[in-house]
């Protein structure tokens, strides 16, 4: 794995590996092995989910909490921007179609408000042309709903590892 790949490049590589016959369980096991060998897990990385579908938001939050992340959920763009300002997330998962705005606007506001560079992963059920390209132009990963939960978790782990100069936060200073 090359450390300067964008999340989108990483996901394309994963799809190519799957096409060659490497199953997702093997890829997840490889990710865990690489992660344990190359990365010191930071305490409770903060993930902001901005998703208006409550069922998706709840399921995603449960999955991420069980994976050891601190999760904050916002149901719309305005609440998402306010939450980003308050919690200073380490990563943002954004739906594109949101009440009171859209995920691209929220991503721009997060880049202005959050002190450190915050990786963004877009999630959408929309099939509107050009969304993937717009997300990739922002350096973000892009998942269409329904998405594979293991692939999303792999992309999240990769986004954390790929951040240049990433240092763990001291939990006592938070």
β partners of residue 49: 73, 93
- Tens digits of per-residue pLDDT, 19-46? 555 555 555 554 554 444 334 455 689 9
Where along the chain do its domains lie?
Answer: 7-162
CB 121 within 8 A of CB 152: yes
CA–CA gap between residue 167 and residue 152 (Å, rounded): 22
Give the pLDDT confidence score for residue 117 in this predicted structure.
Answer: 86
CB 42 within 8 A of CB 169: yes
Burial code of 42-52, b = ≥16 C-beta within 10 A, e = fewer? eeebbbbbbbb
CATH number for the 7-162 domain, one of 3.40.50.2300, 3.90.1010.10, 3.40.50.1170, 3.30.70.1380?
3.40.50.2300
- Tens digits of per-residue pLDDT, 152-174? 999 999 888 877 666 554 333 33
- Tens digits of per-residue pLDDT, 82-98? 999 999 999 999 999 99
Give this prediction's pTM.
Answer: 0.72
Q: CA torsion 106→87→59→101, rounded to 10°?
A: -20
Instruction: Say which residues have a Cβ less than 8 Å from residue 82's Cβ, sequence separation at least 6.
Output: 74
CA–CA gap between residue 12 and residue 18 (Å, rounded): 10
How many C-beta atoms surround the C-beta of residue 23 within 10 A? Answer: 10
Mean pLDDT computed over every residue of the chain = 80
Of residues 110 and 35, the one with the higher pLDDT is 110
* N residues, the chain: 174
Q: Which helix (H) or strand (E) holds 91?
A: strand 91-95
């Amino acid at each position: 794995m090359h450390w300067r790949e964008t999340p989108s490049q990483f996901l394309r590589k994963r799809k190519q590996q799957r096409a060659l016959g490497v199953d997702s369980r093997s890829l997840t096991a490889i990710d865990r092995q690489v992660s344990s060998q190359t990365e010191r897990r930071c305490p409770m990385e903060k993930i902001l989910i901005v998703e208006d579908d409550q069922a998706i938001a709840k399921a995603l939050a449960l999955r991420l909490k069980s994976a050891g992340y601190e999760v904050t959920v916002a149901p719309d763009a305005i609440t998402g921007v306010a939450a980003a300002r308050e919690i200073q997330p380490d990563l943002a998962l954004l739906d594109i179609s949101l009440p009171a705005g859209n995920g691209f606007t929220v991503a721009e506001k997060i880049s202005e408000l959050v002190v450190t560079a915050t990786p963004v992963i877009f999630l959408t059920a929309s099939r509107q042309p050009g969304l993937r390209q717009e997300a990739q132009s922002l350096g973000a990963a892009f998942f269409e709903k329904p998405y594979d939960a293991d692939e999303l978790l792999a992309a999240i782990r990769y986004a954390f590892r790929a951040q240049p100069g990433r240092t763990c936060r001291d939990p006592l200073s938070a």
